[in-house]
Structure 1
Amino acid sequence: MILPLLLRHPNEVAPRKRPFHTIIPGFVTHNGQPLMSFGLMGGSMQAHGHMQMVTRIVDQGLNPQAASDAPRFRVLDDNHGVAVEWNMPQSTIEGLASRGHPVSVSPRFDVEFGCAQAA
């Protein structure tokens, strides 16, 4: 992700600002002990992707491979819409649309969703 040099851009580089960037690996502990390290490529959807990985592994009990393979979503900047990966269940897509979210289904292996790793 390139940090913009445009004035008044929400992510502009400026003194005393902490611009969003995508250099964000993750590390999870449990009771003070290491549980896992993980990372996810995908530009501006990385924070969403990290949350989805942690939820799937910690809360849903998936193994790292299953969590990496599960379909992901990302919130779009322009219209409050949601982009989902090609393998998102149709019932989920319909549920989002019924709540007023514009939903776009991304093609398989879309670089905007990147890939994930966990150990």
Structure 2
Amino acid sequence: MAVRFPSIFNYSTENLQSKFDYLKHEIKSSDKELLSFPQYFGYSLDKRICPRHKCLVKLGLSLPLHEMLTPNDDEFAMKFLYAECVSDRMMRSKMDSAQYKSEEAKVLAHGIPEDLLSSS
């Protein structure tokens, strides 16, 4: 791991432990995946890892760590949020716009929910 990501030695044990705990308990990723992408530890837990993971969970998606973390914010939004919104809007366009069948349809018809875009 240190060979593939030598700057891991620059991080505090608390920083590494919190990211490792999130990886094991929330993402439920394998040790093998972590060994193949040790750069995971270089990303911010609060600003990148957690928000993206929560967003993907809400979308019902599970991705390898490198696919979840390496795209910049614009690429991530276009690939996952925009594509999901467009797909849902196309499906919902057949519905009567004045009568939404569910709260989810109403939210999707009016854009991406704020909670998907927030980092908390």
Higher strand fraction (1 or 2) = 1
> When you count helix as a share of all residues, which structure comes out higher?
2
TM-score (norm. length: structure 2): 0.31
Ranked by relative contact order (alpha carbons within 8 Å, sequence separation 6 or more), the top structure is 2
Greater C-alpha radius of gyration:
2
TM norm structure 1: 0.31
